[in-house]
Structure 1
């Protein structure tokens, strides 16, 4: 469902906007002295958007499962007497759209809860690592370079451009890493639920409209079945791909997945770098 993917992208976008707002309140010369406040704002933005991503993925998983199996799964957000109508309503509320509706007849229930509890400690640690690599390390390098420059007039055009480029790198790097963590909360919820849900078969990777070479290659694998427990999803900064669960052998892959699969066969094998070059040339023609 495209609306689900767009809603997850929007959550990453909301995080990026909050991070940009926090940075905009600090002058470039003040960043080093404001790292603690910036890290707290960064962590809070990741945590809140990641929680929304998790809730959206649970609603999406539960809806797709009910549509394909005629049964509703338990876990967070489940309400007794759930129906296709109520599941659609939950999904519509979280996406902010009215995508579908259904009857209000209560569905048979599988009480098992396959959804992993949010690991807040792990999430906090990942956010701290992302902040350190994308912000803290950049600030440290910037301060060393500033010291090497010596004194400069505040209106020096070269200095102004340099500081602007620095702030932009903090915004871009922080947004990419944090946005990945936000969407990972939802991707991980689905990926983990598949392993613990007896009714699930596997998943496939749904890409955005213009995926990178790596995402195209992963999507070209087609369905990833539960027997391949080690098949990680493999997201990266600014990746908007989503895991779509499968509950029946009668699933149909998006046309893009078949296209990427054909491209890989036509490529004929080689290194990942070779595939990147081939993919870039092929998609530009």
Structure 2
């Protein structure tokens, strides 16, 4: 589970590094004329890492399911005569680390394919909308502000600092939102597969170290059973939470989830804003 989460986080990091390299090659005063090229680079970086996220999640889902049910599920990535050993090998390959191994006895097969087909058009639209909001809109606002500054010299210290702050805001916003889309490639796949897999019960949320108040609250719910159709997995920019599928009542929640659950109980109820304040104060003590 930890290896899966770290591998997904690493994919977001790979996207961030690639995008940072692209932005580093563009001067603030040139960015407005480079939006078309930048959008293409942004979408390509997201697409590549999101596809890897999808493949990693499929390997993780299939492995967890086999460990809990003793059966292997069909769909993308399925190989005939699969065993726990081969499923571990597939996951190790997808995560980039050797995290486990298993016996080579062939597993019974559930031929149903619960995995959704990657919706490339939807992914492209989401990348386009994200780029528009996090890059293009910021650039348009910056250009208007630049025009209002008049003909200040480009080597003016105040102007240099202003341009640097602008580029950093573009980088931070677009990287966080893009990283969310990358990991959503796998998160959406797992959430959809759970709904279409008769052998699945639900999922629980695992967080990274020091999660925000929202993620802590969601993790504190414990298991979310798939009969609760409205309880979709919610993520946000710079979020590295993941959904761990459940296939039996023998699941065990991470200790952190129990901690967040107790914190919510001690909180005693109130608005989300009240919880945010309470959580902030509690985690600082």
TM bucket (normalised to shorter chain) is over 0.9
Structure 1 residue runs without a partner (length 5+): none
Matched ranges for 1:78-89 at <5 A: 78-89=78-89
Per-residue deviation, 1:94: 1.1
Give a deviation string over 1:65-90, Cα, whole Å, max 9, x none. Answer: 00010000001000101110110001
CA distance in 1, matches of 2:232, 2:250: 23
- Specify the alignment match of 2:69 in structure 1: 69
Tell me the number of residue pairs that the alignment of Structure 1 and Structure 2 aligns: 285
SS at 2:244's partner residue?
strand
Matched residue, 1:230: 230
CA deviation map 1:192-239 (0-9, x unaligned): 000010110000001111100000000011100011012111100011
Is 1:169 matched up with 2:169? yes
> Alpha-carbon deviation of 1:95?
1.0
**Runs in 1 of length 4+ with deviation above 6 angstroms?**
none
Q: Kindly report the root-mean-square deviation, in angstroms, between the aligned alpha carbons of the 2 structures.
A: 0.6
SS where residue 31 of structure 1 aligns? helix
The two structures have a TM-score, normalised by structure 2, of 0.99
| Distance across 2 between alignment mates of 1:57 and 1:96 | 13
Q: 2:267: which partner in 1?
A: 267
Secondary structure, aligned partner of 2:204: strand
What TM-score results when the alignment is normalised by the length of structure 1? 0.99
In the TM superposition, residue 149 of structure 1 has moved relative to its aligned partner by 0.2
Question: 1:121 corresponds to which residue?
Answer: 121
Deviation of 1:120 (Å): 0.5
1:176 positional shift:
0.4
User: Per-residue displacement from partner, 1:236-274 (whole Å, max 9, x unpaired)?
Assistant: 001100000000111111111111011001100001010
The aligned residue for residue 200 of structure 1 is: 200
Match runs of 1:1-285 below 5 Å: 1-285=1-285
Instruction: Give the secondary-structure state (helix, strand or coil) at the position aligned to 1:151.
Output: coil
* Cα separation, 1, equivalents of 2:261 and 2:8: 25
Q: Secondary structure at the match of 2:279?
A: helix
- Residue ranges of structure 2 left out of the alignment (5+ in a row): none
1:152 Cα deviation after fit: 1.4
Shift of 1:125: 0.4
In 2: Cα distance, 1:225 partner to 1:64 partner? 17
Find the residue that maps to 1:244 and give its secondary structure.
strand
Secondary structure at 2:113's aligned position in 1?
Answer: coil
Tell me how far 1:175 sits from its aligned partner.
Answer: 0.3
